[in-house]
Structure 1
């Protein structure tokens, strides 16, 4: 992440009157690596996946770390034929972040509005959510309302999905 990207993130937080609770930690690439550091942060810890539709389109899916995803059901829900995981090149191009640093905060870099955000409904029902601030060497805790406010300010409209209903459909 460039210092410009971090400055833009901090500026948008300031503009929206959002003061996230933040921690710094060694680089983490998986949820398992991050969990020991996250234990000091209040909030639902997340996993974030950038998925590519078989016929194009990108979806950033943000769910609690313990959520199992039925990608077939999700693809049907959003109108995609099927999903594959986006390459690291696509991730960098679309969201300006590397693997391990993906989060809804990276939508600040999606000025073309090419990525559709999918948020888990049960996650948003919790008071706080933790995500990476464009790097995998820090994690921030935001209120659910602050996260949605931030995403909306980037010009994105999240698709809030009830994954329990989706799985049983």
Structure 2
């Protein structure tokens, strides 16, 4: 598997004329490893799947929140949600574990992913994501996240996770 590169994320941002603040840091695979302060809010990205692996979910949560997978699954009409495998993550988002990012939607050609944002995410503040590498975080306006997701052919569903 060839993983996506940060150049692809920067090219997408440039194409959409999305401004960002960049913070370089040590490699992190969990938001809890992030010791630096950055403008905006910290979030974590989960990549989940239904029992049959026929539907996938990119879930964006506040950094300090734990998702209730049972309640989330019920809300989404799924009997059971679990974390997608490393292979599924690589196939659909072109990233290794620990670098889940909305930029990966670029590669979901079959539109198997639904984008979920927790209702507690502040939609008036900027939000940070890895640009396919876990040694940088890019902070963008939430409105620009909406623009990016729409450009890639998705709608954000805001629900309580």
TM-score if structure 2 supplies the norm length?
0.90
Shift of 1:2: 6.5
Equivalent residues, number: 160
Rounded Cα–Cα distance in structure 1 between residues aligned with 2:122 and 2:20: 16
Q: 1:30 to 1:52 in 2, by over 3 A?
A: same
Following TM superposition, the consecutive aligned residue runs of length 4 or more in structure 1 with deviations greater than 6 angstroms are 1-4
Q: Assess if the C-alpha contact under 8 Å between 2:10 and 2:131 holds in 1.
A: no
Decide whether the 8 Å contact of 1:51 with 1:60 is kept in 2. Answer: yes
Secondary structure in structure 1 of the residue aligned to 2:13: helix
Q: 1:135 to 1:13 in 2, by over 3 A?
A: same
Structure in which a larger fraction of residues adopt helix: 1
Q: How many angstroms does 1:6 deviate by?
A: 3.2
User: Alignment partner of 1:28: what SS?
Assistant: coil
Superposed, which structure 2 residues align to 1:1-169 within 5 Å?
Answer: 5-34=5-34, 36-37=35-36, 39=37, 41-55=38-52, 56-163=54-161
TM normalised by structure 1 equals 0.86
Cα shift at 1:107: 1.1
Q: Gaps spanning 5+ residues in structure 2: where? A: none
